[in-house]
Amino acid sequence: MHKVGFFRSIQLKFIIIFILLLLVTIQVIGAYFVRGLETELRENFEESIEATVGILEVNLEQAFSKERSEDDEDTPSLEAEVQDIVRVNDTADIINIQVIDMQSRIIASNDTAGSSNTGKKTTDDFINNVLRFGHEDKGNVYNQEGNRTYRRTVPIFDNEETQVGALYIEASLEGVYSQLNDINQVFLRGSILAITVSAFLGILVARAITRPIQEMRRQAQTMAREDFSQKVNVYGKDEIGQLAESFNDLNAKLKHSRALTEEERRKLSSVLSNMSDGVIATDRNGFITLLNDAAGALIHQDPEEAQGKFLLDVLQLEESSVDISELPDSGSMIIDFSEDANIYMIRAKFSTISDEDHDVSGFITVLSDVTEQEEVDRDRREFVSNVSHELRTPLTTIRSYIEALTEGAWEDKNIAPKFLAVTQNETDRMIRMVNDLLQLSRMDNKSESLHQQQLDFISFFHGVIDRFEMNVSEHITLERDLPQGLYDVWIDQDKMAQVLDNIISNAVKYSPEGGMIHFKVSKQNGQMLASVTDEGTGIPHDKVDKIFDRFYRADKARSRKLGGTGLGLAITREIIEAHQGSIWAKSKEGKGTTILFTLPLVNKKRRGH
């Protein structure tokens, strides 16, 4: 089990925070206390100096005011009396007292080392400024020995309030700061002791706080191994105790959720195993994560060996132009697994799996065998009534070609054979349709199979349009927007010709004189999209979806006049859906109609060596 080192643990963080809080508190209190103490000591020191200055001022005023006679030998001189006053008022902190007359001459001093200055003039501007202006002054300086000193100078007056000199006092501040330093040392030792005690208490508090947290961490690691049998001890009702209770509740809910998930997984596994349709699940990149037995049987893959393979490789679509991200948009497609004469077609339906952020996290592919898929006509009892409509277009084409031959085209050796060939082809197709109708009685309880084959739709479409170009009015233009290249589809050629005949004949019927019919084919999401657009009267918006219903006529009067039965587009829809395609219409009243339909493109599998 991975253990957190002490130097990275929450215990050390608690201890450090506890000590730092105490240290900051002590420092703030100490700084405030020391600063106040320093101010108090300085004030007491200056008061002591001021008291000495007051005494000296009084004594010096009396000395300067005393009258002296040159013949009186008993009266001491001014210098001697001032010198005695200065020496008498000397204290321990005062290191220099000087008395200076108005001529800047030092007349007395208590500085024994500097007594030779007596009688000399001073050059100190601090003293001379008092003599000049009569204002007292004070300040702090460092003396020659580098010690902090306090200087004080005051003017001296006689009893007539006339300035007669100045008093200069210099006192050492080292005593004050020595006391302050001793106090700081005591405070520092007390701080160290307090920090030591707080560190010990911090360890005890940190252990008490982190113990349940460590237990929850160990329980989380146990839960990560899917073991939900243990619980965290609850030591109190505080926030940590409530957290421990919530952790135990979470453990119980996860245990219950895991049991439900496991039950659902078993159900899903059972459903997938017993499904007749094949199911393939992939991740977001298209690599297989799940393939059930039905899918393995359909595509001849071992479910276990298919794990991790690329979906397009397994479905043998690696040579197609379809990208893995485009598969869900394609909805479904038919994949050709045929080999030689053995036809084997698989229909694949694609869908995406999204997470809670609506990001694609995977793909689901559902496979079904459509080789034996049959086209069931729910309205086959109406086939007989549809015969006239189904035969009208080829009969009209044959009649047009015969009329052309009768009018002289038979003499043209280039055109006549083509007309006869087309007439013969249409006759053969009608015979096949009649034969199909004769088999209806035998098909009541059976499904009719499409006779599908792989065919290039573009070439096939051109052939159908060519037939109509010989039959339409000269005032109607047929415009083709058909691409180059192969558009292979798996279709019943006759049925698809019937679809195109129905759509194009309707477009011709409803096209005005001078109108144009536009034919277009394109690829869209792995399918072929074909459209036929006319410039007819159009269909009201609320009736567009009904035109594919049986016997529905958008314009009943005109449809009957033109010989329509209302079954053409209904039959067309049945045939398109039987080919796994879809058909719909777009129309705007007065601006024409577009019929669109899709067919799955055939994706040929890669041949083996």
Ranges 101-105, 180-184, 317-321, 348-352: which has the least confidence: 317-321
Q: How does residue 377 score in pLDDT terms, banded at 50, 70 and 90?
A: very low
Q: Is residue 583 part of a domain?
A: yes
Residue 198 lies in a domain: no
Total structural domains within the chain: 3
Asked, for residue 41, whether it belongs to a domain, the answer is yes
For residues 151-172, average pLDDT: 85
Task: Identify the pLDDT of residue 582.
Answer: 94
C-alpha to C-alpha distance for 33 and 45, rounded to whole angstroms: 18
Structure tokens of 311? 């979906």
- Nearest Cα residue to 79 out of 92, 96, 63: 63
Report whether pLDDT(121) > 80. yes
pLDDT at site 568: 67
**Boundary of a domain, candidates 369, 388, 416:** 369
The answer to whether residue 28 scores a pLDDT higher than 60 is: yes
Of the residues 178, 194, 225, the one at which a domain ends: 178
Per-residue pLDDT tens over the stretch 511-525:
888 889 999 999 988
Instruction: Give me the pLDDT at residue 67, please.
Output: 67
Contacts of 453 (CB under 8 A, 6+ apart): 490, 491, 492, 493
Mark whether 340 and 402 lie in a shared domain.
Answer: no
CATH number, residue 425: 3.30.565.10
Confidence of residue 554 (pLDDT cuts 50, 70, 90): low
The reply to whether 319 and 405 lie within a common domain is no
Residues 55 and 97 both lie in one domain: yes
- Calpha distance 553→562 (Å, rounded): 12
Q: Which of 143, 178, 213 is the last residue of a domain?
A: 178
- Based on the domain organization, do 356 and 387 belong to the same domain? no
- Do 94 and 174 contact (CB within 8 A), yes or no? no
CATH number, position 107: 3.30.450.20
- Measured at the CA of 78, the angle between CA 74 and CA 83, to 5 degrees, comes to 105
Residue 217 placed within a domain = no
pTM: 0.35
pLDDT at position 442 is 37
pLDDT for 396 = 82
Mean pLDDT of 202-206: 76
Q: Is the pLDDT of residue 599 over 90?
A: yes
Percent of the chain with pLDDT over 70: 80
Predicted confidence (pLDDT) per residue in 50-79, tens digit: 888 888 888 888 888 776 656 556 567 777
Residue 395 dihedral angles phi and psi, to the nearest 5°: -65, -40
Contacts of residues 180-185 at CB distance under 8 Å and 24 or more positions apart, as own/partner, are 180/34, 180/37, 180/38, 180/41, 183/34, 183/37, 184/34
Task: Determine contact, residues 93/147, Cβ cutoff 8 Å.
Answer: no
Above 90 in pLDDT, residue 498?
A: no
At residue 536 the predicted structure's pLDDT band, cuts being 50, 70 and 90, is confident
Question: How many C-beta neighbours within 10 Å does residue 216 have?
Answer: 19
Evaluate whether residue 164 is within a structural domain: yes
Q: Which amino acid is at 280?
A: I
Q: At what angle do helices 174-224 and 239-274 cross, to 10 degrees?
A: 30
> Beta strand pairing status for 288-291 and 278-283?
antiparallel
Confidence class for position 594, pLDDT limits 50, 70, 90:
very high
The reply to whether 365 and 384 lie within a common domain is no
Domain co-membership, 345 together with 388? no
Least confident of 29-33, 40-44, 321-325: 321-325
Residue 5 included in any domain: no
Q: Which range scores top for mean pLDDT: 185-189, 315-319, 426-430?
A: 185-189
Phi, psi of 187 (to 5 degrees): -65, -40
The answer to whether residue 268 is domain-embedded is no
By DSSP bridging, strand 477-481 and strand 516-524 are: parallel
Indicate whether 484 and 599 sit together in one domain.
yes
| Confidence (pLDDT) at 3 | 46
Is 391 in the same domain as 289? no
Containing structural domain, residue 288: 275-369
Same-domain status, 281 and 401: no
Lowest mean pLDDT, pick from 208-212, 277-281, 380-384: 380-384
Residue 109 contacts residue 86 (beta carbons within 8 Å): yes
pLDDT digits (tens, 9 = 90+) for 33-42: 888 888 888 8
Do 403 and 550 reside in the same domain of the chain? yes
| Amino acid 73: pLDDT | 61
135 and 165 inside one domain: yes
pLDDT 10s digits, 443-473: 333 455 678 899 999 999 999 999 988 878 7
The DSSP code sequence of 187-235 is: HHHHHHHHHHHHHHHHHHHHHHHHHHHHHHHHHHHHHHTT---------
Q: Which residue has the higher pLDDT, 388 or 28?
A: 28
Q: Residue 17 domain-assigned?
A: yes
Please spell the DSSP secondary structure of 244-311, one letter per residue: HHHHHHHHHHHHHHHHHHHHHHHHHHHHHHH-SSEEEEEETTSBEEEE-HHHHHHHT--TTTTTT-BH
Same domain for 92 and 32? yes
pLDDT of residue 92: 63
